[in-house]
Structure 1
Amino acid sequence: MSSETAGNSPEESSPEDAGQLQATAAAVAGTGTSEQWLARYSNSLMGVFGSPQRVLVRGAGAVVWDADGKEYLDLLGGIAVNALGHAHPFVTSVIASQLATLGHVSNFFTSPTQIALAEKLLELSGAPAGSKVFFANSGTEANEAAFKLARAHGKANPSPDGRARSTILALEGAFHGRTMGALALTAKQAYREPFEPMPGGVRHIAFNDIDALRDALDGTVAALVIEPVQGEAGVRPLSAEYLVAARELTTQAGALLIVDEVQTGVGRTGDWFAGIAAGIQPDAMTLAKGLGGGFPIGALITFGRGPSSLLSAGQHGTTFGGNPVATAAALATLHVLEAQDILANVRAVSRIFAEGLATIDAVTAVRAHGLLIGFDLARPVAAGVVAAALDAGFIVNAPRPSTIRLAPPLNLTAEQAASFLAALPGLIQTAVAAQPTEGASS
């Protein structure tokens, strides 16, 4: 893969090519205004996501356009998915070439891209001999595989006093997905309650509390599942001390340490993997989101021969996971991240955000972990800021009433970051002015 073709600016995509692709897509899907598309959406799609904020039709780099032609700076990146922005020319060319060569074969067979990607992930993670990779299609699927891994470990390794290891620990504030096993690990009751009873044996303990972890790690615990930074909880990091303690205490207790890097992995925090950068080697790690640069793929990495031998033939599987196109997309994404030293850009632009946000009076706290950034507002107007930002041409997210989250493409430029920082005080003022005053009649 030649780094000469791995550009990251919107200008590198030919307007003629983009226009031709847009015309082709329109011919397949039809055309219409945003209002027309949203009416069709409400008549045809389940309402699990609520009403879409916009109908997006095209992207280039960190910029997207809606069906009415309005331009937006995408500072959410598909929720930390579009590591290299939209329509990256090298990634899209690799995907098209692979699809034109070999698209899907099932896992009765393998492909060079599947093997090469597994080898690359083991290399980047510094995995020891005997480590293995399982490919899925998403983060929640990777965490489902990790859930099974924990169950298998518990059965294969009873406690010294003969008790079954049937408990999996997760943290308060955790988000690990919405399928049933991953949902059992997710802490938010509003997500869980409609579908209870959950798969049993999961217990949530206090966040970032080493004493609570030590107390919880008895002989019944098969695994501890953690996120180095909780994105859905408002970009809330575990301390380095907690991560080190988690590794030491789980080892002492005979439990697996499973690190969910679905949102933090693949350069998002300025390192390849946040947990490993903190100096720990987990027993297993899950990846997804940015791994495919926008193409769906997830992965479970097991470290060492013990964890890697827990799941045997027939005990887990997937039809689409690790297909040639998805693994080619991931290889292309990793290639660009390395060839262009995008992680250095992540660290540099992160500093710009952190320093700029700290100067804004209405911002009370900033948590910048590479380009996974959360900042708190003095008033609970985050939803209003999201709306005002969208009107002004910026896409951001509000995971909490007083918190804004940013997870832009990792190749976001300093100038693009500065444009949002310049607009933010006005966006907050707009949101505050639109908030109903206390005691006002409805």
Structure 2
Amino acid sequence: MGHSNVVKLLIEEDPEFTYGPNSSGRTPLYIAAERRFTDMVDMIISTCHSPAYGGFKSRTALHAAVICNDKEITEKILEWKPALTKEVDDNGWSPLHFAAKTGDDPTIVSLLLKKSDKSVVYLGTKDGKKTALHIASLHHHGKIVEELLSQFPDCSEQVDDKGHNICHFAMMEKGEYGTYLLNDWLRLRGLVNEEDGQGNTPLHLLSSNEILNYSFILSPEVDKKACNNENLTAFDIISSSRAQDITAVEKEVLLMIFRTAMNDPTAAEGLFKQINKVTQSEAFKEKYISELKHRGEAHLIVSALITTVTFAAGFTLPGGYNGDDGMAILTRKTAFRAFVVTDTIALVLSVSAVFLHFFMTVHNDETVLRKHFLWAFSFTMLGMGAMVIAFTTGLYAVLPHSSGLAIFTCILCSCFFLPFFLEFKLLGKKKNQ
């Protein structure tokens, strides 16, 4: 009998029973929501007359469903008891607070807002009086920020116990920045330049936390010359910092944009476009170099394999050795001589390819790496062809020339050069295109 059937039997036996919490404070409904057992949640709330819904740290089953980001269970619980949207845990967090933190999908936030009254949006946590909007901005969940602002635009003016608004929170952590920071509601209310308890604007926090949000710096609404309680501008803060979270180059770029934006905003925007173009070019170059080295590692395995095989074949000669003088028995045969020459060529070419691949790990210059890679690739392919010829001539040397087997083997080995030819022909067509 499955767990669902056991739950069903227990509920049907006594639907009036509340089913209270266990030793950890979790009720059956909370556990079902926490473990995403949709059928059990549906069974409990539809059959039990008044089931308990409490859980860990005074959270409710709705908290559990939201934390798990389960839309279906969240919707079922909201239909059953919409008042749970106002319930908070020991830290003062409502389900809406957790929805703002968990992910950037506004669907669950929309569900909560439909079933809750306006007061939930303005509810602050016990640890700092942070609202759901503050938490969404802190974690850079732009879609949730925009959802909250579109329905409750005045909630953007609310601050925490240190005077931080939505823009301040966005500058506390690094992350992906959306357009919500320059939302019309924030511009109209002047929140991009609002000061916290220490006189810091969001731009001051951007500098102190070394956050590279150039679009915010270049925005004409942002006051670049604002001073905090210590009479420091954002430029002063970034100038005196030791650049722990950004590179020295990134710091210089940031200072350059700051300095230009303070004096000539139009020139700063042009400067940013040029820097961005160079940065993208450098990023592409780094990606290309990384890709070359990664491919080189794969090709190195092939080259090393050819080296191993040809080296072993060179000392395990077809026909064996003469017991008296230790010389190869088939030295006088033309096919044997062809084997020795082609095996040596294959060995030299593959060792050269290994050598080039090895030195690719030393260089970081794009041109040098590309030349090394192309030469190593050519040596490997030629070494592969020479190895096949050596194998063919080696077999031909030890098999009777009148035997159909020798001729048939040579024909089979020659088939290797057909895909070899077709592949190079295809590469030539792509190059011409």
TM-score range, shorter chain: under 0.3
- The structure carrying a bigger helix percent of its residues is 2
Which structure has the larger Rg?
2
TM-score with structure 2 length normalisation? 0.24
